[in-house]
């Protein structure tokens, strides 16, 4: 949608991109699916083990996730929010997005779709179980594509007027929704088809032509599999950091001093920080990958990193040695009080009276001020404006 060249440029990428975090999210989705399908609360599945299958290095592997307190509490938040919506509930629906993009064999999965025939409204819910980036519903291309797929599949069943897309991020205590009209969604789909047509036409094209259609930016580069090896993103990131663009094979002459940036430019740079940091992280990964594959990179080499922490290879044998030497227990063992979160997990439900006494001893520091975009749901802190202070032009006497 935002970088037509990325599809063709990433055609050579193969292999599974699953991570432990993604697989944990898959387990949480399965819990949510079971609960919604059978009308249960998340608590009903406590202690069950959800097995997630994935591919790694050409082998099929399994990860196991127990339905514990954390998963129960967070998935239940999602269940409650979905169940508040009136209408016919469809769970984990395979959605045909081919008519959305005008490209065959495209699909996605709708976590929860609610059809309110009487009101002429559609509600599309997307559960994101991670702790990472906060996602918003407005102008969310993924959510809109799912909404478009639902609209196309059920357009003959009612006189639809509005579609609401909702993002659930319970582990971030974040819920966001946005409602658009059918006409607005259809206009978005027209744009999506145009973008898809260009992207597909570039597959197999000359690399120089593909490069001309790359358009680096925060949304499109965040999860791009080639961002560590993308010349367009490298140039874009370089241009953001340095005062004047210089060729990448030359030493930079001047780094932008944040103290000299205008308020407008500082805000723009802050908004782009994740993209630049993500690119640098991808550069590190790509560099290591090439060196480990035996490729040469001028000025760099692989070395042995810092050794891991020292530890006993056989703790039982080490314990026997110290006991045989009559070492005192307070010298052999160290004890620390469990943390409050650990105490909550251990006692809140099994020993509520003890937990009530421990809660009375709880203290928690206030959150430190943090920068956030204007559309963040948290209220802005009341801070004295800079223009309420005297304008000091010369700081030389304050050194």
- pLDDT single digits (tens) 247-277: 445 544 455 666 666 788 778 777 777 777 8
Same domain, 64 and 95: yes
Model pLDDT, residue 385: 63
d(CA 23, CA 134) in angstroms, rounded, equals 19
18 has a pLDDT exceeding 80: no
Give the CA dihedral 303, 305, 310, 314, nearest 10 degrees: -70
pLDDT (tens digit, 9 = 90+) per residue, 48-69? 999 998 887 778 888 999 999 9
Same domain, 180 and 233: no
Burial of 76 (0-12, 13-18, 19+ CB in 10 A): middle
Model pLDDT, residue 393: 52
> What integer is the mean pLDDT of 351-378?
84
Same domain, 49 and 158: yes
Contact 269, 279 (CB under 8 A): no
Average pLDDT in the chain: 85
Q: Does residue 316 belong to any structural domain of this protein?
A: no
Model pLDDT, residue 14: 63
Q: Cα dist. 241→252, 253, 287 in Å?
A: 10, 11, 21
d(CA 156, CA 296) in angstroms, rounded, equals 60
Identify the band that residue 246 occupies on the pLDDT scale cut at 50, 70 and 90: very low
Q: Does residue 209 belong to any structural domain of this protein?
A: no
Q: Does residue 374 belong to any structural domain of this protein?
A: no
Q: Which of 12-26, 91-105, 267-281, 381-395 has the highest mean predicted lDDT (pLDDT)?
A: 91-105
Model pLDDT, residue 386: 55
Tokens of 301: 């080499």
398 has a pLDDT exceeding 90: no
| Residues of the chain above pLDDT 70, percent | 89
Q: Does residue 190 belong to any structural domain of this protein?
A: yes
305 has a pLDDT exceeding 60: yes
Model pLDDT, residue 273: 77
d(CA 7, CA 343) in angstroms, rounded, equals 49
Model pLDDT, residue 277: 80
Tokens of 328: 């005192």
Same domain, 155 and 277: no
Same domain, 78 and 225: no
Specify the higher pLDDT residue, 384 or 396.
384
d(CA 1, CA 234) in angstroms, rounded, equals 20
Same domain, 83 and 107: yes
| Boundaries of domain holding 134 | 5-201
242 has a pLDDT exceeding 70: no
Instruction: Find tokens 């060196």 and name the residue.
Output: 291
Same domain, 184 and 231: no
DSSP state, residue 368: P
Q: Examine the fold and report which residue of 264, 292, 320 is the final residue of a domain before the chain moves on.
A: 292
CB-based contacts of 79, cutoff 8 Å, min separation 6: 32, 35, 36, 41, 42
Tokens of 170: 């319970």
Q: What 3-state class would DSSP assign to 348? A: coil
Model pLDDT, residue 51: 93
Same domain, 221 and 139: no
Q: Examine the fold and report which residue of 171, 201, 231 is the final residue of a domain before the chain moves on.
A: 201
Specify the higher pLDDT residue, 61 or 146.
146
Same domain, 47 and 95: yes
Q: Does residue 310 belong to any structural domain of this protein?
A: no
Identify the band that residue 16 occupies on the pLDDT scale cut at 50, 70 and 90: low
Q: Does residue 359 belong to any structural domain of this protein?
A: no
Alpha helices, H only, the chain: 5-9, 20-38, 69-83, 98-101, 141-154, 182-201, 207-212, 218-221, 231-241, 263-271, 273-292, 315-324, 329-332, 340-347, 352-359
d(CA 283, CA 144) in angstroms, rounded, equals 31
Same domain, 169 and 58: yes
Residues forming a β-bridge with 179: 164
DSSP state, residue 255: B
Same domain, 220 and 131: no
d(CA 75, CA 121) in angstroms, rounded, equals 25
Model pLDDT, residue 256: 61
Model pLDDT, residue 141: 93
| Residues of the chain above pLDDT 90, percent | 47
399 has a pLDDT exceeding 50: no
Q: Cα dist. 111→147, 349, 394 in Å?
A: 12, 30, 59
Backbone angles phi, psi at 94, to 5 degrees: -75, 120
Total number of domains in the chain: 2
Model pLDDT, residue 307: 81
């Amino acid at each position: 949608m935002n970088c037509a060249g990325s599809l063709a440029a990433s055609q050579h990428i193969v292999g599974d991109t699953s991570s432990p975090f993604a697989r944990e999210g898959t387990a949480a989705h399965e819990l949510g699916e079971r609960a919604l399908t059978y009308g249960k609360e998340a608590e009903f599945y406590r202690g069950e083990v959800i097995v997630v299958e994935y591919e790694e290095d050409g082998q099929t592997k399994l990860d196991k996730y127990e339905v514990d307190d954390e998963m129960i509490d967070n998935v239940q938040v999602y269940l409650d929010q979905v169940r508040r919506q009136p209408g016919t509930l469809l769970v984990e629906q395979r959605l045909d997005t081919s008519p959305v993009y005008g490209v065959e064999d495209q699909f996605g999965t709708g976590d929860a779709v609610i059809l309110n025939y009487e009101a002429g409204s559609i509600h599309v819910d997307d559960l994101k179980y991670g702790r990472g980036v906060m996602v918003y519903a407005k102008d969310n291309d993924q959510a809109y594509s799912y909404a478009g797929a639902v609209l196309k599949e059920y357009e003959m069943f009612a006189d639809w007027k509005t579609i609401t897309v909702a993002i659930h991020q319970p582990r971030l205590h974040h819920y966001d929704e946005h409602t658009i009209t059918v006409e607005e969604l259809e206009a978005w789909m027209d744009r999506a088809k145009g973008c898809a047509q260009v992207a597909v036409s570039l597959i197999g094209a000359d690399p120089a032509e593909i490069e001309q259609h790359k358009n680096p930016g925060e949304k499109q580069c965040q999860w791009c599999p080639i961002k560590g090896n993308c010349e367009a993103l490298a140039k874009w990131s370089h241009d953001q950091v340095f005062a004047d663009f210089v060729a990448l094979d030359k030493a930079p002459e001047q780094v932008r001093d944040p103290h000299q940036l205008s308020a407008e430019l500082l805000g723009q740079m802050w908004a782009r920080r994740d993209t630049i940091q993500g690119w640098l992280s991808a550069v590190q990964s790509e560099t290591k990958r090439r060196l480990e594959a035996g490729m040469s990179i001028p000025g760099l080499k692989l070395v042995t990193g810092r050794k891991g922490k020292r530890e006993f290879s056989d703790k039982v044998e080490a314990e026997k040695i110290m006991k045989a030497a009559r070492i005192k227990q307070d010298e052999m063992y160290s004890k620390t009080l469990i943390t409050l979160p650990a105490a909550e997990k251990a006692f809140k439900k099994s020993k509520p009276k003890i937990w009530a006494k421990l809660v009375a001893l709880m203290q928690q520091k206030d959150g430190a001020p943090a920068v956030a975009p204007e559309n963040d749901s948290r209220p802005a802190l009341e801070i004295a404006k800079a223009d309420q202070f005297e304008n000091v032009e010369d700081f030389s006497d304050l050194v």
